[in-house]
Chain A
Amino acid sequence: MQIRSMLLVLPIVGMLASLLTSCAHFGRPSIPPVVVVPAPDGKTGNYTLMNYDTDLTAYKDATGTAAAALRNKMVYSILAEIDYVFYDYETKLFLNEGWFHVGSDFLQLGMAAGGTLTNGTRGKTILSALLTGVTGVDLSVDKNFFRQQTVQAITSSMEANRDRIKTVILKQLAKDNAAYPFQAARADLIHYFFAGTLSSGLQELTQDSGTNAKTQKDALNKAQVRNITAADVVSISAINAAIAKAFADDKLGPVEDYLKAMKIAVPPNPTKDTLDQELRELSNQLDEDPVSREKAYAAAKAAKLIQ
């Protein structure tokens, strides 16, 4: 009887496990056919290296607006291919975050780009070359650094890089061919592609960290105590002594008024400990900010702590 029950239960457990597994799995979205235009030979992408070569040959012989039009055609076509690769890559990063912790093969994608745009195989699409033209090049990456970064932070950094360079490219395309020849656009396109790679995202993050560290250091420099006058010392000593007397006499009203005048939130019927804590917090402002110092002297007078 027991064996029969188990035999009945096992398929149900299996079905539940299967359901749970499928619920936890996130797949890549299907790419709309209008985006993935079947390329010659069934490859992904629609701007072939042969197209590129043809356009480049025509561009060399063209002048004026015709040259600019061909330049723009090539640039927009390659931009579209790079964008597709980037967003596909970004999706993979989010769906396979675990890869981050075990490998550095993502960098290979970037390594393939230079060759793709220069001497890739004829007939191969730019996109398929970008997608599959990975080499054995691998970079040693500090895995601990990966763990410290979230995928989102890195991809945001990559997108920021890309947006910056794309803006430059689009502005340049408004210029005539003499001012912005395809050779210059090609260099910018290579930058654009690399801006979307993991190495670029990490580099940007590192630079951001460096900038933040400098900002913090600047803030520290600003926070140095300076320009304290003899009158400042006299005034703060008088306030300190008056507060000490108020504490000793258990007459805390003026201390409370002083803190309130300095915009410090004081609870009703504060204890000495509470006031002590708030007074010490206030000292940060007084040491570093001359305006707060003047305000404190005025507040202490208004609260009748000092004359």
Chain B
Amino acid sequence: MVPVHTREVDGTQALDAQERALQFIEEADFAKVVSYSQDPGAGATANEASLQDVPIGSQPPPLSLVALAVGSDPAATITQQEQGGKNLAFQGEAFVSSKLQLVLGFR
């Protein structure tokens, strides 16, 4: 079983800052983000990333994040990203600039 751990990310940050945070965490932790969502237990606007360890030397491509309004249909966005060669890695409701949004992670 592959070890999984979590990291808290400041949800008051804009989407690009959170994208950099997740990219940094993946590289520093030798891991990949498998889920990302709000974490009310860690603060009013905290987000939690769950990470799965990867073997050293097998780091996946960097993440890119897309934010949509909560409740919207992500299908079109996913299709568009796939056409650009990126696949959906995770999606979840997370804080972006302190506002709850549907965040999709692609790589």
Q: How large is the interface on A (under 10, 10 to 19, 20 to 34, 35 or more residues)?
A: 20 to 34
Contacting chain B: which of A93-101, A156-164, A185-193, A223-231?
Answer: A223-231
Asked whether any CB of chain A lies closer than 8 Å to the CB of B67, the reply is no
Find the A residue at minimum CB distance from B55.
A276
Q: How far is the CA of A279 from the CA of B30 in the complex (A)?
A: 9
Contacting chain A: which of B17-25, B76-84, B96-104?
Answer: B17-25
Asked whether any CB of chain A lies closer than 8 Å to the CB of B70, the reply is no
Q: How large is the interface on B (under 10, 10 to 19, 20 to 34, 35 or more residues)?
A: 20 to 34
Chain A 229-253 per-residue mask, 1 if CB under 8 angstroms from chain B, else 0: 1101100110111011001100000
User: In the complex the two chains form, is A240's CB within 8 Å of B8's CB?
Assistant: no
Asked whether any CB of chain B lies closer than 8 Å to the CB of A144, the reply is no
Q: How far is the CA of A226 from the CA of B25 in the complex (A)?
A: 11
User: In the complex the two chains form, is A240's CB within 8 Å of B28's CB?
Assistant: yes
Asked whether any CB of chain B lies closer than 8 Å to the CB of A280, the reply is yes
User: In the complex the two chains form, is B20's CB within 8 Å of A226's CB?
Assistant: no
User: Provided the pairs A225-B25, A240-B28, A283-B29 are in contact, do residues A276 and B46 lie with their beta carbons within 8 angstroms?
Assistant: no
User: In the complex the two chains form, is A228's CB within 8 Å of B21's CB?
Assistant: yes
Complex contacts, A276 vs chain B, CB 8 Å: 30, 56
Q: How far is the CA of A243 from the CA of B57 in the complex (A)?
A: 8
Contact of A240 among B7, B21, B30, B43 (CB under 8 A): B30
Complex contacts, A280 vs chain B, CB 8 Å: 29-30, 53
Contact of B7 among A221, A241, A287 (CB under 8 A): A287
Chain B 29-71 per-residue mask, 1 if CB under 8 angstroms from chain A, else 0: 1100000000001110010000001001101001000000000
Chain A 72-115 per-residue mask, 1 if CB under 8 angstroms from chain B, else 0: 00000000000000000000000000000000000000000000
User: In the complex the two chains form, is B57's CB within 8 Å of A244's CB?
Assistant: yes
Shortest CB-to-CB span from A58 to chain B, Å, is 60
User: In the complex the two chains form, is A287's CB within 8 Å of B13's CB?
Assistant: no
User: In the complex the two chains form, is A226's CB within 8 Å of B10's CB?
Assistant: yes
User: In the complex the two chains form, is A279's CB within 8 Å of B8's CB?
Assistant: no
Shortest CB-to-CB span from B47 to chain A, Å, is 8
Complex contacts, A230 vs chain B, CB 8 Å: 20
Q: How far is the CA of A111 from the CA of B56 in the complex (A)?
A: 66
Complex contacts, B29 vs chain A, CB 8 Å: 280, 283, 287
Given contacts A226-B9, A228-B23, A228-B24, 14 further A-B contacts (CB under 8 A): A217-B42, A217-B43, A220-B41, A220-B43, A224-B42, A225-B10, A228-B20, A236-B24, A240-B59, A248-B57, A279-B30, A280-B29, A286-B28, A287-B7
Interface positions of B (Cβ within 8 A of A): 7-10, 13, 17, 20-21, 23-25, 27-30, 41-43, 46, 53, 56-57, 59, 62
Interface positions of A (Cβ within 8 A of B): 217, 220-221, 223-230, 232-233, 236-237, 239-241, 243-244, 247-248, 272, 276, 279-280, 283, 286-287
17 residue pairs bridging A and B, Cβ less than 8 Å apart: A217-B42, A220-B8, A223-B8, A224-B8, A224-B43, A225-B10, A226-B9, A226-B13, A233-B27, A233-B62, A236-B27, A236-B28, A237-B23, A237-B27, A241-B59, A248-B57, A280-B53
